[in-house]
Amino acid sequence: MFAHALLCALFSGSMLVNCDVIAELPQGTVQGTYKTSYGGKNYSAFEGIPYAKPPVDKLRFEEPQPAEKWNGVLVADKSYVCTSFIPFPMVRGVMGTEDCLYVYVYVPRMKISKEENLDVVVHIHGGAFMLGAPMYMADPTFIMDQNVVYVSFNYRLGVLGFLSTEDDVVPGNNGLKDQSLALKWIKDNIKYFGGNPNSITLTGLSAGAASVHYHYLSPWSKGLFHRGFSQSGTSLQHWALVEEPLLKAQTVARNLSCTIESTRPMVDCLKKIDAEDLVMGILPLFVFIDSVPFTTFGPVVEKGSNPFPARPALQIAQGGKVQDVPWVVSNVKDEGLMPAGLFMMMKKLEELNRRWDEIMPYALDINSTVDDNDKKDVITKVRKYYFKEESLSPDNLDSLAELFSDRGFLVDAEKAIRAHSKAVKSPVYYYLFNYVLQIPAMFKGTKKGVAHSDDGRILFKIFGTPSKLPKDDEKNDETSDWIYNFLCIFKVSRDIVSKPKMNGVEWKPVDPASEEIDYLNILSPDDISMGKIKELAHNSFWNSLPIKENDKIL
């Protein structure tokens, strides 16, 4: 640190040493860089601060351990991607590094002051618990136009983050435990960046949204945040809980010539496998386009001695073991365009139609939750309900999207909203995003609609979002300003507790005693209203099926 101070004294005013972008942490001194927001605002960026020891070698598959101190000055100008399998044809393969547990802090100032006490927004990236990284799915460019400290971080993914042996050897959920350790790091250190450790809003999209909800339910994260925002995901989604994790771990081990006779020697063997080979070892688990099932390794109900969740999420919520802080939940109109649009883009609709009985138990994630003698009947009923007697084709892609919207998002989101609102005194808010953005669709060949992640794309910039947002026909460039209103609504406790408004419309919380759900209906920046809805989707149909999950777990 003395050497750095000397340089600052000798070269003050020089671009060689930027002495203003410095934060003094208990771990050591960290130096950031300057970046520019979407609106042209300069801000300080600290990218790549370790919050945990590298989870490599003996620490692979182990619970995260806090990072150690460092000597000298850490120049925080690097972004990381956790090792993961990328299934898309144009980039198919393994990406990232095991040494990836880093945090990224962005401050809306060119000089850091511990006296600022700014509100803090933390974002957990999505990616089905299998892929993704802040640099691709949580870019600060848009949000740093706001007067908040913004934080994102990596967490272990796929088999490296969520392998479970259903015992104390590898209980599971290390990716979620990484998140909790990152949240603790933020709580302990954000004051050194001018952030308020008592005003932390936890946000997430898709798998990140489900993660947010899991942190409400886990003792690991108690007291580490003060309000939450789940965009298109809760812990009750079928893809947010993996069944038969030991069987999946054994399948990977067998594929890599490791013993499966007992869990300890199996894990010892898997720890010695090259990371890329280990990640590619999951391929036998897929039955369709290296993407189905969508989550091969993810959160589990632990059987270890220090569980993240010890029981299924709905049971925890119904038992009242929930952090009692405000929660915002959302969905977009056409959630199921992902994966329906992906299947169409890859020209796989005909194959899906032909192999329906073989693929759909995995695509709908019922292979382990429906008895074998009921699977054919369930899949047949689903097909008839959504397609009548038609064959699957581009002409009825809407029906496929509706199917995946209902099964993947809306039915279980409603269960989560209802159970959570009954378990807490704090308000639970819900909105439906029906606004078709004036930016290109994520997947070519899909119909124009409101696709999964659209509301998140202009809040936390995701890959594929244009660097310059196109002008809306009527509102010019106000779309991004308008979506920021969400942040202004819930980032400060006094706002969310005291009747928040969107475009002048009072946003009413969900009434846990009502049969109807109060929701904010967003049709455009100028067309926002409160509505009531009895069911978010075709609940009655899905609840009639013998799927053993959530409220039907025996």
- For 205-237, the pLDDT digits (tens) are 999 999 999 999 999 999 999 999 999 999 999
Angle at 237 between CA 233 and CA 239, to 5 degrees: 100
pLDDT at res. 459: 81
Length of the chain: 554
Q: What is the mean pLDDT of residues 135-141?
A: 93
Provide the token pair at 496. Answer: 């969310």
Alpha-carbon distance of 381 to 391, in angstroms, equals 14
Q: Residue 230: which of 429, 10, 422 has the closest Cα? A: 429
Q: What is the mean pLDDT of residues 48-68?
A: 98
Strands 501-502 and 428-433: unpaired
Give the CA distances from residue 503 to residues 207, 228, 374, 409, in Å, rounded to whole numbers and listed in that order: 29, 21, 49, 27
Residue 206 known to be catalytic: yes
pLDDT at res. 320: 86
List 335, 402, 414, 549, catalytic entry: 335
Q: Are 100 and 81 contacting, i.e. CB atoms less than 8 angstroms apart?
A: yes
Q: What is the mean pLDDT of residues 290-308?
A: 92
Q: Residue 35: which of 109, 89, 138 has the closest Cα? A: 109
pLDDT at res. 498: 61
| 323-359 tens-digit pLDDT | 999 999 999 999 999 899 889 888 999 999 999 999 9
Q: What is the mean pLDDT of residues 25-36?
A: 97
2: pLDDT strictly greater than 70? no
Q: What is the mean pLDDT of residues 123-134?
A: 96
Residue 335 known to be catalytic: yes
| Paired strand residues for 66 | 52
Place of tokens 């099926």: 545
Alpha-carbon distance of 371 to 358, in angstroms, equals 15
pLDDT at res. 442: 55
| 499-541 tens-digit pLDDT | 787 878 888 999 999 999 999 998 887 788 999 999 999 999 9
Which has more confidence, 327 or 305?
327
pLDDT at res. 447: 55
Query: Within its chain, how far is the Cα of 324 from the centroid?
Result: 21
pLDDT band at 487 (very low <50, low <70, confident <90, very high): low
pLDDT at res. 11: 38
32: pLDDT strictly greater than 70? yes
Alpha-carbon distance of 221 to 148, in angstroms, equals 22
pLDDT band at 484 (very low <50, low <70, confident <90, very high): low
Angle at 153 between CA 416 and CA 490, to 5 degrees: 50
13: pLDDT strictly greater than 60? no
Q: Residue 239: which of 293, 319, 316 has the closest Cα? A: 293
Alpha-carbon distance of 238 to 551, in angstroms, equals 12
pLDDT at res. 180: 98
360: pLDDT strictly greater than 90? yes
pLDDT band at 474 (very low <50, low <70, confident <90, very high): very low
pLDDT band at 87 (very low <50, low <70, confident <90, very high): confident
List 180, 199, 206, 232, catalytic entry: 206
Alpha-carbon distance of 445 to 394, in angstroms, equals 9
pLDDT at res. 7: 40
478: pLDDT strictly greater than 50? no
Alpha-carbon distance of 532 to 536, in angstroms, equals 10
Which has more confidence, 543 or 451?
543
Q: Residue 128: which of 249, 246, 284, 298 has the closest Cα? A: 298
List 226, 452, 538, 549, catalytic entry: 452
Q: Are 254 and 271 contacting, i.e. CB atoms less than 8 angstroms apart?
A: no
Alpha-carbon distance of 203 to 229, in angstroms, equals 5
Q: Which long-range contacts (CB under 8 A, 24 or more apart) does 33-41 make?
A: 33/76, 33/77, 34/110, 35/106, 35/140, 35/144, 37/140, 37/141, 37/142, 37/144, 37/145, 38/141, 38/142, 38/144, 38/145, 38/461, 38/469, 38/480, 39/145, 41/108, 41/144, 41/145
Q: What is the mean pLDDT of residues 350-379?
A: 96
pLDDT band at 169 (very low <50, low <70, confident <90, very high): very high
pLDDT at res. 469: 66
Most confident among 302-316, 468-482, 498-512 (mean pLDDT): 302-316
